[in-house]
Amino acid sequence: MRYNKAFIPTLREVPSEAQAISHQLMLRAGLVRQLSAGVYSFLPLGWRAMQKVMHIVRQEMDAIGGQEFYFPALNPIEIWHQTGRVESMGEVLFHIKNREGLVLAPTHEEVVAFHARQHVKSYKDLPQIWYQIQIKFRNEPRPRFGVLRGRQFTMKDSYSLDDSWEGLDSSYEKHNYAYQRIFSRCGLHFFVVGASSGAMGGSASQEFMVESPAGEDTCAVCASCNYAANIEVARSATEPTARLPESQYLERFPTPGVHTINDLVYGHGIPEERCAKALLYIVDRGPVLILLRGNDELNEAKLQAALGTISVRPAAPEELRAYTGATAGSIGPIGLPVSLPVIADERLRDANELVSGANADGYHYRHIDLMRDCRIDMYADLRTVQEHEPCPQCRSPLRIVRAIEVGHIFKLGTKYSEALGATFLDEHGQERPIVMGSYGIGIERIVAAFIEQNHDERGICWIPSIAPLQVHLIALGLEQSKAVHDAAEQLYQELWTNGVETLYDDRSETAGVKFNDADLIGLPLQLIVSPRNVESGVVEIKERRSGKRHHVASAEVVPVVQRLLKYLSQEPQSVIFP
């Protein structure tokens, strides 16, 4: 690729709309351009990087027995109605306006189940792993961070079809294995977290996360022992509120002006761990009283999981008054005007000598004994884990980090096969629904996440496996020196002849411009051909990431380049949590 004729519009300045580093660098290095919010064109260099990633994905998917398909993005809405996802996806699903009955597919469970229904009839047809690399359309309410959250993006999605839950376990493990290899080969430092199954239905689910400030997920990770979990399910080894030997008489006392736990702690000298914070939530239209210890923060995802519904929201002030007779900060489990279901955090299990609101503004109760004075309908893990809390496995301090979800593996079960009637006959002639799994990888996200993790102040630092090209050949003083011109041209030919993908900067730019563009684009190796190098019969090789330089005799260049590329390709130590 000759730079002079290539379309590589590098930018010296940072476009103002780009916040995330990957977004800035993808624009500056000429990898992508925005077309509209959440919609990006991939330019030649960006597309080459994408193709490198897809190549790795294909190799690893094929290695676990995956068969590549190419499903349509245009889907009949009918199959989406059958699984109830027209409603559940809501605004996220793009509808075609001038053609009734078509939608743009945000994922392909329905299509897979449709074809499985057509042709998978016997247990002898199973198992299957079907995958594709295809464009997905999701009407994201808020696209952001460049290609990290777009309205259209490229996904490798695969679907396993099995005749049993044991078979699903095996397909799931194969994907787990393939994903570890894919992300490692793409040079990502990643970790795996257990995830909540959310609205997809199904049982087990794991997310492959790349730590980055541009991430949209929050995770708790332990540096010592490999514990990692999405904040939605993360736990920590915090102390429970100890049950004291004696419960004193329940007592209502005045607390004028007290609205927060800190008011109780600092204004009334009540230890924080003896405070029971009460929240009122509306769950599936009914009110539920929630008790947390002290300043613990409710995690709504955990609440959803505990109650088995996604419909939860904090009560409005009017609702609070109607159900408790008090305003926020003065509610509690004792003295409710009407009986409400009460769900308390595990940390408060069977605790006593607690202080909580009296359901009357300006009053609290003390000496509350949850076993004696209230009916707790359920204890559950409801609190949000905080930074520095002890790891549940090894008690080292947890870190709370932002992370990019680059992959997700999912045990779906039979939800989609049942909805679409995708059944098979087992060895006893019994008709049963196919057991499905679904597995996604965001291709653009791999590229962006890699850049988030592999850049310096000058630009991107690619590794050979996903670099757009391997070598950046820089010729200096091209127009002054025929020797340089001839040497560079010859080297360029030689490199490509030997299969080394080379970008040849044959522009008549100054050295500084060429060096800066080369560092910005960040191909793993830079070869510098200049008058002084040519004169001494050498070519200078610079490793982009480390900055190490080698002066190599012209005849040795290609083999040395090949050796260096091989060396730089050694899989980095990835953080893998099985």
Could you list the residues that contact RNA (CB under 7 A)?
Answer: 10-17, 19-20, 34, 36-38, 89, 92, 106-107, 136, 138, 140-145, 149, 155, 197-201, 216, 300, 310, 408, 410, 440, 458, 476-477, 479-480, 508-513, 515-520, 528, 530-533, 540, 542
Q: How far is the CB of 143 from RNA (least distance, A)?
A: 6
Smaller CB distance to RNA: residue 480 or 498? Answer: 480
Q: Is 153 exposed, middle or buried (0-12, 13-18, 19+ CB in 10 A)?
A: buried
> Of 167 and 202, which has the nearer Cβ to RNA?
202
Shortest Å, Cβ 19 to RNA: 4
The answer to whether the CB of 474 falls within 8 A of the CB of 514 is yes
Closer Cβ to RNA, 358 or 476, answer by number? 476
Q: Which is nearer to RNA, 279 or 391 (CB)?
A: 279
Q: What is the CA radius of gyration of the chain?
A: 30
Shortest CB 510 distance to RNA, Å:
4
Q: Which is nearer to RNA, 75 or 107 (CB)?
A: 107
Choose among 449, 441, 433: nearest CA to 206.
441
Q: How far is the CB of 410 from RNA (least distance, A)?
A: 6
Nearest residue (CB) to RNA, 452 versus 519? 519
Nearer Cβ to RNA (287/333): 287
Structure tokens at 481: 């020196």
Question: Smallest Cα–Cα separation from 366: which of 232, 270, 481?
Answer: 270
Cβ atoms of residues 348 and 291 within 8 Å? yes
Report the residue number, 138 or 383, with the smaller CB distance to RNA. 138
Instruction: Please report, for residues 106, 298, 423, the alpha-carbon distance to residue 79 in angstroms, rounded to integers and kept in the order given.
Output: 13, 37, 16
Minimum separation from the CB atom of position 31 to RNA (A):
14
270 or 488: CB nearest RNA:
488
Backbone φ and ψ of 139, nearest 5°: -80, 75
Cα within 13 Å of Cα(312), Cβ side: 19
Cis status of the peptide bond prior to 127, with omega within 30 of 0: yes
Query: With contact defined as beta carbons under 8 Å apart, do 208 and 400 qualify?
Result: no
- Shortest separation between residue 511's beta carbon and RNA, angstroms: 3
**Type and span of the H or E element at 450:** helix 443-453
How near is the Cβ of 513 to RNA at its closest, in Å? Answer: 4
Which of these, 219, 50, 62, lies nearest to 577 by C-alpha position? 219
Q: How far is the CB of 565 from RNA (least distance, A)?
A: 19
* Beta-strand runs (E) in 32-176: 32-36, 39-42, 67-68, 74-76, 94-95, 102-104, 128-137, 152-162
Q: Rounded to the nearest whole angstrom, what is the least distance from the CB of residue 11 to RNA in the complex?
A: 5
